């Protein structure tokens, strides 16, 4: 199909504003996040820059829709303190409502076949989507010496964009306004182009360069927004033989979707089974607090992390041995989940509950690690700390606090 002599592919490229991105374009406050994007070069498996042990995403190293449990065999075993490079694959473009054919899906949106990841094609064709969640999960990775009672320290050292595009979706009557969207749009012909083949909304979003920064570009150039890549899903195996849904985050991490866990951040997760069994996925190129439509700008990333197991007497915040906790260069980040034990004993989705748990965790951190009396700590949190909605769409909702480290420098 052509319109006024312009091919469909060229028309879509013009509409999304996709441009070639030169090598080593840095975002503010982060190392180089992208290699050559927008041209023929993408981070296909076994190409480009890696550091330490390399774990590609293959039919043998990923699961789809479910998380590892205590019975899952590790895809890789490493020593504590090891650096690893891990390929992650976005589920967008692979899902059934998009045709389960990423080559057809992304070339239909203007990408060349060489810009579609071969591992995404393999996963869509060869891996059974046998869990209730949408996510493609890489791992798990066993860490020698990790035992229940330890905390696993995950340092995010680098994140590279693997492709010059992403997708933002609103599907299955979910998002912050279930029952309103996407139902409200279905009888409006002018919006039909935003629906995917399964009747859900998928908004293809390009990557372009604005000065020295990478930005996401919505269709028609409606808006451009800074990219801030992070891994939406980082976790350790729960001590269960039951199938673990990849959607709700728990006290073992998982789909916590905290957009402050970018390059330079550290996540602590309490170890539940021998080896810890770390996994990751749900790569995001950008996400607003709340993730209100259901997804972030989902796009495949290559992650470099350091995994270190810390025993109870080791150097880590005390609460990190009981629940997820994070930090970056600017903030300590206490995490509140509305239902930290997942589907056990029912499912709590209230943001009020998540907020209370985040504040309790913040209080515990300030009293245990900073030696503040509780009344003083409570006053400080009210006067100076921020509490943000991590996400409202993952069954279990999340709130995370931001406690400025600079407030405690003499």
> What integer pLDDT is reported at residue 26 of this predicted model?
31
Report if residue 236 sits inside a domain.
yes
The count of structural domains within the chain is 2
Question: Which residue, 286, 310, 334, sits at the end of a domain?
Answer: 310
Q: Let me know whether 376 and 285 are in one domain.
A: no
How far apart are the C-alpha atoms of 123 and 264, rounded to whole Å? 30
> What integer pLDDT is reported at residue 78 of this predicted model?
98
Supply the DSSP string of 272-288, one letter for each residue: -STT--EEEEEEEEE--
CATH number at residue 59: 2.60.120.580
250 beta partners: 253
What DSSP character marks residue 351?
Answer: H
How far apart are the C-alpha atoms of 337 and 360, rounded to whole Å? 11
> What integer pLDDT is reported at residue 208 of this predicted model?
93
**Contact predicate 249/255, CB 8 Å:** yes
CATH number at residue 348: 3.10.28.20
Report if residue 120 sits inside a domain.
yes
Instruction: Locate 400 and state its tokens.
Output: 């995370």
How far apart are the C-alpha atoms of 214 and 224, rounded to whole Å? 10
Host domain of residue 327: 318-405
How far apart are the C-alpha atoms of 253 and 164, rounded to whole Å? 28
Report if residue 186 sits inside a domain.
yes
Question: Which residue, 280, 310, 340, sits at the end of a domain?
Answer: 310
CA distances from 243 to 141, 301, 342 (A): 18, 26, 12
Q: Let me know whether 388 and 279 are in one domain.
A: no
Q: Let me know whether 233 and 328 are in one domain.
A: no
pLDDT tens digits, one per residue of 199-243? 999 999 999 998 889 999 999 989 999 999 999 999 999 999 999
Q: Let me know whether 156 and 248 are in one domain.
A: yes
Q: Let me know whether 57 and 103 are in one domain.
A: yes
**Contact predicate 284/297, CB 8 Å:** yes
Report if residue 7 sits inside a domain.
no
Q: Let me know whether 165 and 80 are in one domain.
A: yes
Half-sphere exposure (Cβ direction) of 24: Cα atoms closer than 13 Å? 1
> What integer pLDDT is reported at residue 172 of this predicted model?
73
Q: Let me know whether 249 and 367 are in one domain.
A: no
H or E stretch at 366: helix 351-369
CA dihedral 111, 156, 364, 67 (to 10 degrees): 60
Q: How many residues does the chain have?
A: 410
Report if residue 11 sits inside a domain.
no
Instruction: Locate 73 and state its tokens.
Output: 């065999």
Radius of gyration for the chain, computed over Cα atoms and rounded to the nearest angstrom: 21
Ranges of beta strands (E only) in 56-171 are 62-64, 66-67, 76-78, 82-87, 136-143, 151-161, 165-170
> What integer pLDDT is reported at residue 41 of this predicted model?
56
Alpha-carbon dihedral sign for residues 111, 116, 121, 123 = negative
Q: Let me know whether 245 and 386 are in one domain.
A: no
Q: Let me know whether 146 and 187 are in one domain.
A: yes
Query: Whose CA is closest to 266, among 215, 315, 338, 214?
Result: 315
Query: Whose CA is closest to 71, among 272, 369, 301?
Result: 272
Indicate the pTM of the whole model.
0.89
Residues with Cβ within 8 Å of residue 371, at least 6 apart in sequence? none
Report if residue 9 sits inside a domain.
no
Q: Let me know whether 290 and 339 are in one domain.
A: no
Report if residue 5 sits inside a domain.
no
Q: Let me know whether 207 and 136 are in one domain.
A: yes
Residues with Cβ within 8 Å of residue 47, at least 6 apart in sequence? none
Question: Which residue, 285, 310, 335, sits at the end of a domain?
Answer: 310
Backbone angles phi, psi at 53, to 5 degrees: -70, 145
- If you average pLDDT over every residue of the chain, what do you get? 90
Q: Which of 14-28, 110-124, 270-284, 302-316 has the lowest mean pLDDT?
A: 14-28
H or E stretch at 384: helix 374-384
Report if residue 362 sits inside a domain.
yes
Kindly report whether the peptide bond that precedes residue 124 is cis, defined as omega within 30 degrees of 0.
Answer: no
Q: Let me know whether 379 and 400 are in one domain.
A: yes
pLDDT tens digits, one per residue of 279-334? 999 999 999 999 999 999 999 999 999 999 999 989 999 999 999 999 999 999 99
């Amino acid at each position: 199909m052509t319109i006024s002599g312009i091919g469909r592919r060229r028309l879509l490229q013009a509409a999304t504003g996709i441009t070639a991105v030169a090598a080593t374009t840095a975002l503010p406050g982060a190392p180089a996040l992208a290699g050559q994007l927008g041209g023929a070069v993408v981070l296909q498996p076994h190409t480009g820059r890696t550091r330490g042990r390399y774990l590609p995403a293959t039919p043998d190293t990923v699961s789809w829709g479910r998380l590892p449990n205590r019975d899952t065999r590790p895809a890789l075993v490493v020593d504590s303190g090891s650096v690893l490079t891990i390929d992650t694959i976005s589920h967008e473009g692979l899902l059934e409502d998009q045709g389960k054919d990423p080559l057809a899906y992304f070339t239909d949106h203007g990408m060349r076949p060489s810009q579609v990841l071969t591992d995404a094609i393999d996963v869509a064709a060869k891996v059974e989507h046998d869990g209730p969640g949408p996510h493609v999960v890489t791992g798990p990775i066993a860490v020698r010496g990790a035992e229940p009672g330890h905390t696993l320290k995950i340092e995010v050292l680098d994140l590279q964009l693997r492709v010059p595009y992403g997708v933002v979706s609103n599907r299955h009557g979910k998002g912050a306004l279930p029952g309103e969207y996407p139902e409200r749009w279905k009888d409006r012909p002018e919006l039909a182009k935003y629906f995917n083949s399964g009747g859900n909304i998928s908004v293809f979003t390009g990557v372009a360069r604005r000065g020295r920064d990478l930005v996401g570009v919505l269709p028609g150039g409606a808006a451009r927004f800074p990219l801030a890549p992070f891994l939406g899903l980082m976790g350790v195996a729960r001590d269960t033989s039951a199938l673990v849904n990849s959607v709700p985050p728990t006290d073992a991490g998982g789909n916590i979707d905290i957009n402050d866990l970018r390059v330079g951040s550290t996540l602590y997760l309490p170890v539940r089974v021998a080896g810890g069994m770390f996994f990751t996925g749900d790569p995001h190129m950008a996400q607003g607090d709340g993730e209100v439509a259901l997804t972030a700008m989902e796009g495949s990333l290559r992650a470099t992390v350091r995994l270190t197991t810390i025993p109870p007497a080791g150097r880590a915040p005390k609460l990190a041995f009981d629940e997820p906790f994070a930090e970056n260069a600017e903030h300590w980040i206490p995490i509140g989940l509305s239902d930290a034990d997942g589907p056990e004993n029912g499912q709590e989705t209230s943001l009020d509950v998540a907020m209370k748990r985040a504040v309790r965790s913040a209080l515990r951190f300030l009293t245990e690690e900073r030696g503040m009396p509780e009344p003083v700590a409570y006053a400080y949190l009210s006067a100076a700390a921020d509490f943000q909605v991590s996400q409202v769409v993952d069954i279990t909702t999340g709130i995370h606090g931001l406690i400025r480290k600079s407030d405690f420098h003499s």
